[in-house]
Amino acid sequence: MKLSKIPLLGRVVIAIVSGIILGQFVPVWFARIFATFNDLFGNFLSFIIPLIILGLVAPAIGELGKGAGRLLLITTVIAYMSTLFSGFFTFFSCQAFFPNIITGAIDTGSVQGIDEGAVKTFFSIGMPPIMDVMSALILSFCIGIGLSLIKGDTLQKAFSDFRDIVTMIIRTVIIPLLPIYIFGMFLSISITGQVYSVIMLFLKVISVIFVLHILLLVIQYVVAGAISRRHPLKALKTMLPAYMTALGTASSAATIPVTLQCALNNKINPSIASFVIPLCATIHLAGSAMKIVGFSLAIMYFFGIPVDPGTFIGFIFMVGITMIAAPGVPGGAIMAAIGIIQSMLGFNEQMIGLMITVYIAVDSFGTACNVTGDGAIALIMDKWAGTSRT
């Protein structure tokens, strides 16, 4: 089988295992090759992140504004509120569990020197970004709001084309190179003797997030069932084919046909389902927000970084906005969120690398949570549309 035919998760697993094993006996010069690649790739990420934010957020805000209509507005608000709830639910739940299962079992002080003990690069090429992350966010909001207010559509089309370029870079450059980046990171970690701590972090955190994402789906359908007066567990069971399909595709967009059929099986008005399901596949990423918030918090505990609730609350609100603009490709959500993770939480390159790795490792579960939650929003919108017509 060609390497390109292996799913992203499979390539990430191969990269992790290979890095751990080879790190036990390869010479340092070999590791320095990949350390150099990681340095170049990390610098490229720093350069491209502001452009990713500008290319995704600005046209998304412009399109939402120009799409006017109460149905679009209410669906967007509900999707954003669902994502916010997911973020806060994850934050408070993880705050209760992580201090015991991470800092209580892992010597966080032993990993604070990972960067200092890392394998040195052969050379480095600076790639300074054209603007910092916060400037990109503010510029994106200004342009996006402006696009939604002006009558012409020339600039909107230009930013839509720019978004296509950014999405193409993510899909054809960044995502395919991620396994090599992850391999180099674990090769370095293995050589410096920190691999056991990192693996323990992965196993503990992934277990907690998996349980939370099941609870989130139950809560979403209990609320949707109460509003629509449908049996929540029956409605959730009807959406299981979409959940299982998303586990295989790891893409909300690719799962739309199955998600739509499941929504129709829930007796949702076809016109409402045909509008809500494709829209939510783009703007409703509650499962992805859960992973980003949970994994960010875990890595902060892992590295012994104090967690400021005020900063994290602002971070969750920004994650909600970023998820609306994230591209519907595997790994797209984490790539869109890297900028605010760096600027608001102060993550360095090593922490970002771990964040990307653990996120990709369970990417399909987050996607499954996203698309299944879309069915709950469709139930709510079906009830609202029916009420508004009477």
* Separation CA 347–CA 356 (nearest Å): 12
Stretch 22-28: mean pLDDT? 84
Q: What is the pLDDT of residues 301-311, one digit of tens each?
A: 888 888 888 88
Tokens of 354: 């771990």
The percent of residues above 90 in pLDDT, for the chain, comes to: 17
The percent of residues above 70 in pLDDT, for the chain, comes to: 87
Q: What is the pTM of this model?
A: 0.78
Yes or no: say if 33 and 183 are a contact pair by the CB < 8 Å rule: no
pLDDT of residue 349: 79
Other Cβ atoms closer than 10 A to 110: 13
Three-state secondary structure of the chain = CCHHHCCHHHHHHHHHHHHHHHCCCCCHHHHHHHHHHHHHHHHHHHHHHHHHHHHHHHHHHHHHHHCCCHHHHHHHHHHHHHHHHHHHHHHHHHHHHHHHHCCCCCCHHHHCCCCCCCCCCCCCCCCCCCCCHHHHHHHHHHHHHHHHHCCCCHHHHHHHHHHHHHHHHHHHHHHHHHHHHHHHHHHHHHHCCCHHHHHHHHHHHHHHHHHHHHHHHHHHHHHHHHHHCCCHHHHHHHCHHHHHHHHHHCCCCCCHHHHHHHHHHCCCCHHHHHHHHHHHHHHCCHHHHHHHHHHHHHHHHHCCCCCCHHHHHHHHHHHHHHHHHCCCCCCHHHHHHHHHHHHHHCCCHHHHHHHHHHHHHCHHHHHHHHHHHHHHHHHHHHHHHHHHHC
Q: What is the pLDDT of residues 151-193, one digit of tens each?
A: 778 888 998 899 889 888 888 888 788 888 888 878 887 776 6
Is residue 90 over pLDDT 70?
Answer: yes
